[in-house]
Amino acid sequence: MLMGMITVDGLTRDYGSGKGIFAVSFSVEKGETFGFLGPNGAGKTTTIRHLMGFLKPVSGKCEINALDCWKDRDKIQAQLGYIPGEISFFEEMTGTEYLQFMEQYRRLGTESRKEELLDFFQLDPGVKLKKMSKGMKQKIALVVAMMHDPAILIFDEPTSGLDPLMQNKFIDFINAEKKRGKTILLSSHMFEEVERTCDRIGIIRNGRLAEVNPVQELRNRHVRPYTVTLETEALAKAFAEDFHGQRNGRKVTVTAKQSLEDIFMHYYGDESLDQHSTV
């Protein structure tokens, strides 16, 4: 049995026709940010729905803080911050009314981080939710997920709809929360977002984990050698010095670490990252 603040052990849900998740196992340690990487339809959201207690495991199990995600989902959600991949609100409410509703639901008083988060994400919530842009709704979801200062954060595509500036602010915020000891599971398509925030990465393909490793170890294992031939030995010597290469006459060999996106494509080949299913 794997042990961690978040534990997924042999989780399986077969929807037929090769769809679903199959014997998925990983753990997220206290204070760690774990990146869950894969295209739509790979099984990220299905795994997260089990962790949230929305789906009962057919086979295997999952736990959060040693509590069973299905049996103890009420206890778990009190200490959890969650952003779903598809957000829905009470559209007739203003953002302010919805945030107040959520504060009352969670019985938050002066300990609420609402104002701090609204200021950080530069959001005026006075508009009706149905008139908000996707980016504004995403900011509301971020505030709701974190205003009760939960110890554990589970985010499914949290920056969808945010502009690049706000995506950067989100990355800064996640790194600050990690320093405060938060445990974070981040499901994302955004390679830069994952690279800049995550300690380890799990790559899921067709419902099965293809790899779980620290970011740096993944990069170290996926290096490419390149050999170039220069016109003269003098040029080759200069090139080798500039790029820390190995020279043999006019030939210079250098090694380059692949980006996370390159590593991802190593596992997915030519599969499209724009599939429309959200399994």
Do 13 and 42 share a domain, yes or no?
yes
Name the band, by pLDDT with cuts 50, 70 and 90, for residue 278.
Answer: very low
Count other C-beta atoms under 10 Å from residue 29's C-beta. 14
Asked if the structure places residue 154 within a domain, the reply is yes
Q: Is the pLDDT of residue 277 over 50?
A: no
Do 93 and 187 share a domain, yes or no?
yes
Do 198 and 171 share a domain, yes or no?
yes
Q: Could you report the per-residue pLDDT of 22-58, keeping only the tens digit for each?
A: 999 999 999 999 999 888 788 999 999 999 999 999 9
Is 180 buried (19+), middle (13-18) or exposed (0-12) by CB count in 10 A?
exposed
Asked if the structure places residue 37 within a domain, the reply is yes
Q: Of 160, 156, 153, 204, nearest to 175 (Cα)?
A: 153
Q: Is the pLDDT of residue 163 over 50?
A: yes
Q: Is the pLDDT of residue 91 over 90?
A: no
**Mean predicted lDDT score pLDDT of the chain:** 87
**254 φ, ψ (degrees, to nearest 5):** -125, 155
Interval 3-10 mean pLDDT: 90
Which of 187, 212, 237 delimits the end of a domain?
A: 212
DSSP string for residues in 121-150:
TT--TTSBGGGS-HHHHHHHHHHHHHTT--
Do 155 and 242 share a domain, yes or no?
no
What pLDDT shows up at residue 33?
A: 96
Tally the domains of the chain.
2
Interval 214-239 mean pLDDT: 82
Query: What's the order of all strands across the beta sheet hosting 183-188?
Result: 80-83, 152-156, 183-188, 33-37, 200-205, 208-214
Task: Measure CA 12 to chain center.
Answer: 21
**184 φ, ψ (degrees, to nearest 5):** -130, 130
Domain that holds residue 234: 223-257
Do 144 and 102 share a domain, yes or no?
yes
Do 231 and 145 share a domain, yes or no?
no
What pLDDT shows up at residue 258?
A: 65
Interval 135-142 mean pLDDT: 92
Do 102 and 122 share a domain, yes or no?
yes
Q: What is the CATH number of the domain that holds 95?
A: 3.40.50.300
Q: Is the pLDDT of residue 126 over 90?
A: yes
What pLDDT shows up at residue 13?
A: 93
| Amino acid, single-letter form, for residue 148 | H
Name the band, by pLDDT with cuts 50, 70 and 90, for residue 222.
Answer: low
Give the Cα separation of 52 and 129 in Å (integer).
25
Task: Give the pTM.
Answer: 0.79
> What is the chain's Cα-based Rg?
22
What pLDDT shows up at residue 268?
A: 65
